Structure 1
Amino acid sequence: MAEEPPASDARSGGQAPTTNGKPAEQDGPSDRGVEIMSMITTALADIKLAQGRTRSARMCALLASVATSMAWSSATFAAAANDAPPAAAVEAEGANGAAAELVSTGMQDIVVTAQKRAENIQKVPLSIIAKSGGQLEQAGVTNITELQKIVPNLSFTSNSQASSAVIRIRGFGSIANSAIDPDVASYIDGVYIARPGAMLTSFLDVSSIEVLRGPQGTLFGRNSAIGAISLTTNAPSLTKASGEAYVEYGSYNEYKLQLIGNVPVSNNFALRAAGFYKSFDGYIRNNLDGRRYGGTNTLAGRLSAKWEITPNLTWVVRADYAKMGGDGFNLAQVYASSATPAQLASYVSRLGGPANAPTISDRPTYRANQRFDDPTLNDRQGGVVSDMSLQFGKGYTLRLINAYREWHNRQTDGDIMMTPLDILNRRGRYSSTNQSHELQILSPKDELLDGRFNFVLGLYYFRERYKTTETLDFGSQFCSFILPLLGRSAGIPSCLASPQLAASVGNFNQLGKSLAAYAQADFKLTPQLVLTVGARGTFDRKDGRFEQTINNSAATIVRASELTTGLRFRKDRPTWRFNLSWEPTDGVMTFASYSTGYKSGGFNQSGGAPALTRVDRTFNAETTTEYQAGIKSAWLNRRLVLNANLYQTDLHNFQDKSFNGVTFLVRNAGDIRARGAEFEGQILPVDRFKIEFSGAYIDSVYSRNVNAPGLPGCTGAANSCPRVQDLTGRPTSFAPKWTLYGAVEYETPTFLGGFKAVARGDVSYTDRMYTSNDANPQGIVASRTLFGARINLISPDRSWTLSIYGQNLTNAHYYNYSFQQLLASALGGNVPATGATLLRAYMGPPRTLGASIKKSF
């Protein structure tokens, strides 16, 4: 949320140059645009010829096409732009997606762009939480994983690698690094981010972030069936040269250096550059080799340009690149209470004794005893986005967003049995190359039909090529250790004589295309009563291919040879939104809505044993229907803000990815009904003292799930422990009943010649919850309460800020989620009579402390 631009920047770029008080003569903007764009096109074409048919060449080719289209747009729209009346501020109208904060008597208003135009958040009939970049910094939120502590009903988890991201809203999300599309759509600067892992390095020079809870099927479209996250970065400023240098150091040798610079090149053209380097050693100490694990090092940069071609035609271009390295490993301890003493004894014995046993504890210890075999992480992403906005006619806006993005992830997990033995290692490669194009038309705000009618129209196209390669390597002890446990000792010689590396290789290739058209309109039935109607038509096409190659016959324990081609998914789906909002008095709005959402179907990318049929490979689309009622209110001259909503979400054909002890498979599990309430508010009891609070309650159960996987230890031999079960009426996973957040913030009067301090403390609470989709009571993780604090000391000229901070101040040790031990049955970890099994669990971060210094200029 950027501050409202000064009057001199009311058209996103200052005033035109003058001579003796009169506008100076300039070259024709359309001719200049065509000339410059032609130069860019020629340069990029030369790069393409020099590099040949490489990935870089393909990006250059797309950049060239974008530049050409922008030149054409400049030439085509220039005449209309010159004839049109002056536009409102681009930032204020949301042309670059940035939200703003406006000064008020009490607390500041928050302007969001959740409905494609700039609006006061108190006037938007959605369950939405928005924060500016400054508010995120003050709350200690420096990456997407930390956002969950200040947004109830939002969660973020990852598995064995830090880059394996899962974003959930109201308990719904998708397994990381898979062909299954997310339930929560992520956007950066108005561009859809296809894979959640690409959000990990996105928090650079942030202007604002908006978390929209509930289906956003009309304006955001596919894969926002449960909600959306929209992050906006700062656009270049045309009015002032500025910069920032930031240095931070914290626990576990975590340090960060960030630089930002903004340069107005002319009165209508500006550049902005931002970059950071961050390094972190990791929380985990391994007893086996004495090394630390879990560390990452990240380098990220973004270059932005803003050109006010005419007073009514603005073009913003952003290019970014980020790379994350290190090992990125997340430790999963054996959860001691998930097994009886007899099970644990059998488990340790079959591993060869205590020396070969991993860490076993109910309490996270951040100590490992396992073979890592040099786990590595190489995560790269980058892209370019072109955002052109034209103000024409009497306040209409035409906006064109073109984007190209790539995300490539290569990771080695080490021994996936997670023991000190060298048994089985996994290597993965994941690649997403995509482009998107969106055209929007916005009506003038409160101008049509005597101010009673507003509308948004849009066309959208998305294309993604997604590829994965997963390789299993046998360790030196696989043949001699695993085969006897499975009663296959006779196969040891053949196993040893066959390739150990790349014992099995699975390749998955998918091409997805999506086309959509949407419209949303507001009609004032009375000055206080507004009806909103929205509709979107989505047309999805996917084609896929899977091949599993077995190079060692022993790999058939977990994989099978397979070649499945001609995978096809076709779906045309409408989504709707109807809302009625009423403002009985100034500062109070109530609303009731009906909305639907849609999540694309697709294909299983994992290998299986035995091989899957084409039917098993394909899963259908997921749809949601939501009923919501809420109130937004401001009282006591805006010193008290209270918002709340009630909702019921019905999810049909839930795409469930479950672990069968060998691999993960996606299926349409059935239906889910989630009911809940959300609230948030702020209180300013006295000047310079603020209280924030928010919370959510959810009751989420399967309304139909008759063929759910049985408890992991079941063999099906006894009726009391079948391999499948009916979970209808049982709780869903990752849906804690209560999530709560509270914070207090105090700003001191100036002292010592103008210094001031800002102190903030916060607390977040997450209730106990299931973390597996089989309603296994062993998989319930305990509730947790986390405390944080931050103190800023600000210099008299406001150019220096010194901060100290702490997270998880009480050093609470907690688990994020659990899963069953691979090959638990062979290791003696199953109890067939009850379905109990040996579980592992990923840990949350321990206490961290740190300090930072920032210089603004």
Structure 2
Amino acid sequence: MKNLRTRTSVFALAGAAALASLPAAAQVDGAAGQQDSAAAGEGAIIVTAQRRAEAQVDVPISITNLSSAALETASIQQLADIGKVTPALRFDFAGGFFQPTIRGIGTAVTTSGGGGNVGIYIDGFYSPNPLAADFDLISVDSIQVLKGPQGTLFGRNTTGGAILVSTREPSTSANAFEGRVRYGRYNEARAEAIANYVVSDRVALGVEGQYRRGDGWQREIATGERVGDYENWSFRLSMMAELSDSVELLVRYKHGETDDPSTMLAASLDTSDFGLGAPFGGLAGPYTTARNRIATGSVDEVFRSNSDVVQGTIRADIGFADLTSYSQYRSEKSDMSQDLDYSGADIFQLGLPNVNETWSQELLLTSKAGPRLQWTAGLFYFENTDTYLTYLDNAGNDWNSRVRLGGSSTTVKSYAAFLDATYEFTQQLFLTVGARYSKDKIVDAYWNHQLTAVEVPVPDISNDKLTPRVVLRYKPTDRTSIYASFTKGYKAAVLDVGGSCQIALTNYTCNDVRPEDINAYEVGFKYEERGLSFEAAAFYYDYKNLQVSIFRTGTAEIINAATSEIYGLEGSMRYEITPEFQLSAGASWVHARYKRFNEAPVYVRCAELGGAAAADCAANGVTFVVVPTTLENVTMQRTPEFTGFLGGRYETELAGGQVALSGNLFYSSRFFFGPSGIQFEQGDYATLALRAQWTAPDERFHVAAYGDNVTDSRFRTQAQYSSFGIGANWSKPATYGLEVGVRF
């Protein structure tokens, strides 16, 4: 309680500081400050990639900007779906862990204090938990995917980039309600509602909620019964209050619950480079490698989560600049139970509850539009306590049947200060210089002795990092930009309390998992004029000390891969051929290689080893082992060389209303799931989403037919590897259905 009171007091003081002694100036104009002169042009695309509102053509960062209409066109329902319209972006899951990768920079590390390489920000708030990062998109206005390191403006663990989600806010303009329901294949039912209520000319309330449920599409091979039924729901309450002509307050509370085992349901992996991945499958129980089937033991797989989020945003005009305060508390609890031998025998069912608690506070200052010097400055504090418990669930995953195996916990604290400034030398030449100083600490870390709850403390660690940014930008015209940039990013060090710390063979010594480090160089071109928006970029990354998760001694360890090199080309465009017909397209080529990977984990079947090694396999009851191998110039994990999409939307009048026909085609070349980058291949694949919608003349009613993956393309969505087996999850078959919506 003392810590709770202390943190609450700190947040209250931060808010009070923002409100104190403010001049009666003009009303605040948006969350991220004023837009520059170029953004004032009609039809300009506005983004907040530099923490202030600007025209996208003036921002020297590779950005995929997705409007609510673009999300609808591509049948995007959850955050992970945006990979279908974003070149060089992948979303992978390891069990219930949500792991984005941009241009080859991602992670498969799932451990206490680990985190991802792509920062996810929702309405300006950092969302660190990979077990709760994928969510349903209800009231989204736009999503911006920033590519390349964002270490200066967005901080730690953004070596790959950042994803910025902006949602609707309550408005004092008018009362409003919007709702829609949909029903589709596999009995998928979804309902959403958003309401805005005007209390006064300065206060408005917002309420939104969603419910989604459906049947699983896989069947258990022994019984033939369908498995994977799911049910998710959430609601959010918001209050917007104009406290004065210069101060605005937004307070939000969100609660969500998920019961969805789909990421837990894996068949055995069967690939040409390795073969059957279930070591006990043929020996002790039935198994399957079929894409629509699974083999499970007597205990069901589960993934359940429960989250509560409280956020407070204060925006204030303080005369010389705009001040924004972001205060956040997150409590997220989840429980997983997964069969890690992927067979019908009860060999090893892992239970993995997680408790995640986050406090964060950020103060952001942005300059006023007009002067030649535009700047952004800020202070950031972040604290996250991440606790894992591990259980043997062979007898059941209820709390009375579980057998305690161990667990681990860390508390991560991060402090940062940053400044980023752009100076206009002439109307055509601009220089941006920025830097962020960060100090990261891991404290109060421990791991649990096997089969007990006894906590073994681990010494604290800390590291400091300076992440600079330099950009030179030239504007041949008001609607054209050419830029060259250097940016630095890092992913913080990890205490391997969930892995090497617990291994007797290492004398319970933790691996020294150093911070990842990246130097990124990019040149780009942007154009926006007369219905055409186009941008292209070439990039080169020098990437060191990748944090890689491996299974080498019966437990997941984390090590550093030595060095990697990434370079490539990328382009995207949006073109309004006529007011009724728009096209969008994007493509990326990424050459990503481990330059040298010492002790890379290569999975080898015991039958190929022979001699004493094969005898050891037999003694331990396994059919494969991990052989540490030095690799040079091999492909990086989870990185297709080519990705691209093509989308279109056509509108015309029908029966007095408006018909909109839209579709999106996505393509990915082959890649490898294995951490060494040479195993567990997924071949190239393509998916197609289609939608047809009729909207009434008064725009208060619409009905739509939709289809996702209508070509029924089947591909692996993840490969899961442990000491007990190697499994594969498959893409969902074609889905289709109807949607009805109202608005007033």
Q: What are the superposed Cα offsets for residues 216-256 of structure 1, whole Å, 9 maximum, x if unpaired?
A: 01110111111011112111111111111111111111111
Q: Are 2:24 and 1:124 equivalent residues in the alignment? A: no
Please tell me whether the aligned partners of residues 280 and 341 of structure 2 are also in contact (alpha carbons under 8 angstroms): no
Q: Are 2:99 and 1:166 equivalent residues in the alignment? A: yes
Please tell me whether the aligned partners of residues 741 and 763 of structure 1 are also in contact (alpha carbons under 8 angstroms): yes
Q: What are the superposed Cα offsets for residues 591-648 of structure 1, whole Å, 9 maximum, x if unpaired?
A: 000000011112124355535446434411111110000000134xx23222100001
TM-score, length of structure 2 as denominator length: 0.91
Please tell me whether the aligned partners of residues 691 and 706 of structure 2 are also in contact (alpha carbons under 8 angstroms): yes
Change in 2 beyond 3 A, CA 1:510/1:349: closer
1:381 to 307, 311, 317: 307
Question: Aligned partners of 1:509, 1:585: CA distance in 2, in Å?
Answer: 54
Please tell me whether the aligned partners of residues 34 and 369 of structure 2 are also in contact (alpha carbons under 8 angstroms): no
Alignment of 1:807-818 (within 5 A): 807-818=708-719
Shift of 1:203: 2.1
Question: Aligned partners of 1:771, 1:340: CA distance in 2, in Å?
Answer: 12
Shift of 1:339: 7.8
Question: Aligned partners of 1:314, 1:468: CA distance in 2, in Å?
Answer: 39
- State the partner residue of 2:695: 794
Q: Are 2:682 and 1:682 equivalent residues in the alignment? A: no
One-letter amino acid of the structure 2 residue matched with residue 623 of structure 1: D
Q: What are the superposed Cα offsets for residues 396-433 of structure 1, whole Å, 9 maximum, x if unpaired?
A: 211111111111111222x3212111222111111111
- State the partner residue of 1:751: 654
- State the partner residue of 2:347: 423
2:640 to 730, 736, 741: 736
Shift of 1:723: 2.6
Change in 2 beyond 3 A, CA 1:277/1:725: same
- State the partner residue of 2:413: 513
1:841 to 725, 728, 731: 728
Please tell me whether the aligned partners of residues 493 and 516 of structure 2 are also in contact (alpha carbons under 8 angstroms): yes
- State the partner residue of 2:201: 267
- State the partner residue of 1:466: 386
- State the partner residue of 1:831: none
Please tell me whether the aligned partners of residues 524 and 530 of structure 1 are also in contact (alpha carbons under 8 angstroms): yes
- State the partner residue of 2:617: none
Change in 2 beyond 3 A, CA 1:196/1:547: closer
Q: What are the superposed Cα offsets for residues 338-362 of structure 1, whole Å, 9 maximum, x if unpaired?
A: 4899x799976523xxxx321134x
TM-score, length of structure 1 as denominator length: 0.80
Please tell me whether the aligned partners of residues 445 and 460 of structure 2 are also in contact (alpha carbons under 8 angstroms): no
- State the partner residue of 1:454: 374
- State the partner residue of 2:365: 441
Residue identity over aligned pairs, in percent, reads 25
Shift of 1:475: 5.2
One-letter amino acid of the structure 2 residue matched with residue 543 of structure 1: V
The secondary structure found in structure 2 opposite 1:546 is strand
- State the partner residue of 1:649: 541
1:115 to 47, 50, 54: 50
One-letter amino acid of the structure 2 residue matched with residue 171 of structure 1: G
Q: Are 2:216 and 1:276 equivalent residues in the alignment? A: no
2:286 to 357, 366, 375: 357
- State the partner residue of 1:44: none
Q: What are the superposed Cα offsets for residues 652-704 of structure 1, whole Å, 9 maximum, x if unpaired?
A: 11111123373321111211111011110012223311111001110000122
One-letter amino acid of the structure 2 residue matched with residue 402 of structure 1: S
The secondary structure found in structure 2 opposite 1:147 is helix
1:81 to 17, 23, 38: 23
- State the partner residue of 1:698: 590
The secondary structure found in structure 1 opposite 2:210 is strand
Q: What is the root-mean-square deviation of aligned Cα atoms in Å?
A: 2.9
- State the partner residue of 1:589: 481
- State the partner residue of 1:724: 628
Question: Aligned partners of 2:30, 2:528: CA distance in 1, in Å?
Answer: 27
Higher strand proportion (structure 1 or 2): 2
Shift of 1:501: 5.7
Question: Aligned partners of 2:561, 2:599: CA distance in 1, in Å?
Answer: 7
The secondary structure found in structure 1 opposite 2:697 is coil
The secondary structure found in structure 1 opposite 2:633 is coil
2:329 to 388, 392, 404: 404
Q: Are 2:491 and 1:599 equivalent residues in the alignment? A: yes
Higher helix proportion (structure 1 or 2): 1
Shift of 1:506: 1.5
Please tell me whether the aligned partners of residues 164 and 176 of structure 1 are also in contact (alpha carbons under 8 angstroms): no
One-letter amino acid of the structure 2 residue matched with residue 841 of structure 1: A
- State the partner residue of 2:258: 324
The secondary structure found in structure 2 opposite 1:149 is helix
One-letter amino acid of the structure 2 residue matched with residue 138 of structure 1: T
Change in 2 beyond 3 A, CA 1:436/1:129: same
One-letter amino acid of the structure 2 residue matched with residue 406 of structure 1: S
- State the partner residue of 1:175: 108
Shift of 1:815: 1.2
One-letter amino acid of the structure 2 residue matched with residue 697 of structure 1: W
Question: Aligned partners of 1:390, 1:765: CA distance in 2, in Å?
Answer: 45
Shift of 1:368: 2.0
One-letter amino acid of the structure 2 residue matched with residue 631 of structure 1: F
1:625 to 498, 511, 519: 519
1:803 to 704, 709, 713: 704
1:392 to 312, 315, 318: 318
The secondary structure found in structure 2 opposite 1:198 is coil
Please tell me whether the aligned partners of residues 516 and 536 of structure 1 are also in contact (alpha carbons under 8 angstroms): yes
Give 5+ residue unaligned stretches, structure 1.
1-52, 477-499, 553-560, 825-838
Question: Aligned partners of 2:657, 2:6: CA distance in 1, in Å?
Answer: 53
Change in 2 beyond 3 A, CA 1:472/1:115: same
Shift of 1:816: 2.2
Q: What are the superposed Cα offsets for residues 172-221 of structure 1, whole Å, 9 maximum, x if unpaired?
A: 22336522121111111111111122222352311221111100011101
One-letter amino acid of the structure 1 residue matched with residue 62 of structure 2: S
- State the partner residue of 2:179: 245
Q: What are the superposed Cα offsets for residues 825-846 of structure 1, whole Å, 9 maximum, x if unpaired?
A: xxxxxxxxxxxxxx53221111
Shift of 1:123: 1.1
Shift of 1:328: 3.8
Q: What are the superposed Cα offsets for residues 726-772 of structure 1, whole Å, 9 maximum, x if unpaired?
A: 21211111110100100111001x232x2110000111001001110
Question: Aligned partners of 2:696, 2:147: CA distance in 1, in Å?
Answer: 39
Alignment of 1:289-308 (within 5 A): 289-308=223-242
- State the partner residue of 1:146: 81
Q: What are the superposed Cα offsets for residues 784-833 of structure 1, whole Å, 9 maximum, x if unpaired?
A: 01111001100010011111110111111211233457446xxxxxxxxx
Question: Aligned partners of 1:817, 1:376: CA distance in 2, in Å?
Answer: 17
Question: Aligned partners of 2:387, 2:414: CA distance in 1, in Å?
Answer: 18
Q: Are 2:457 and 1:565 equivalent residues in the alignment? A: yes
Shift of 1:520: 0.5
The secondary structure found in structure 2 opposite 1:199 is coil
Question: Aligned partners of 1:823, 1:751: CA distance in 2, in Å?
Answer: 59
In our comparison, the structure showing a higher alpha carbon Rg is 1
Q: What are the superposed Cα offsets for residues 472-494 of structure 1, whole Å, 9 maximum, x if unpaired?
A: 24459xxxxxxxxxxxxxxxxxx
1:782 to 666, 683, 687: 683
Structure 1 segments, 4+ long, off by >6 Å, are 57-61, 100-103, 343-347, 714-719
- State the partner residue of 1:634: 528
Q: Are 2:664 and 1:766 equivalent residues in the alignment? A: no
1:236 to 170, 174, 177: 170
Please tell me whether the aligned partners of residues 400 and 438 of structure 1 are also in contact (alpha carbons under 8 angstroms): yes
**Structure 1 stretch displaced more, 792-801 or 320-329:** 320-329
Question: Aligned partners of 1:221, 1:400: CA distance in 2, in Å?
Answer: 17
Question: Aligned partners of 2:333, 2:274: CA distance in 1, in Å?
Answer: 42
2:551 to 645, 655, 659: 659
